[in-house]
Amino acid sequence: MLIKSCSFNGGQQQGVGLIEVLVSVLVLTVGILGVVAMQTRALQFSQESIYTSQALMMAYEMTDRMRANKGSEIQYLVNYGSDVTA
């Protein structure tokens, strides 16, 4: 009986390429999710900045109107209903 000896070149390397691809896809996915999260936060901060600048412009406009209309200070008094008691 003849025994045939086979030597597998790289027999221990089977499946390693697939694992490397899966790890690289995982790293790429985490990176893309990080970029998406940063973009979302940037949009939120941008919208908040727009709201803040609009509020400041409205406040400056009201202040300028009050300053220009000095004779009517009584009109700017506001009664919010009931008085606060201690």
Confidence class for position 85, pLDDT limits 50, 70, 90: low
pLDDT of residue 28: 98
Mean pLDDT estimate for the chain: 83
Distances (CA, A) of 57 to 39, 41, 49, 72, 78: 27, 24, 12, 22, 21
SS3 label, residue 84: coil
Verdict on whether the full-model pTM lies above 0.95: no
Confidence class for position 8, pLDDT limits 50, 70, 90: low
CB 66 within 8 A of CB 76: yes
With 0-12 CB in 10 A as exposed, 13-18 as middle and 19+ as buried, what is 42? Answer: exposed
Give tens-digit pLDDT for 40-81.
999 999 999 999 999 999 999 988 988 888 877 777 777 667
| Structural domain contains residue 35 | yes
| Structural domain contains residue 30 | yes
Total domains, the chain: 1
Residues of the domain holding 33: 24-61
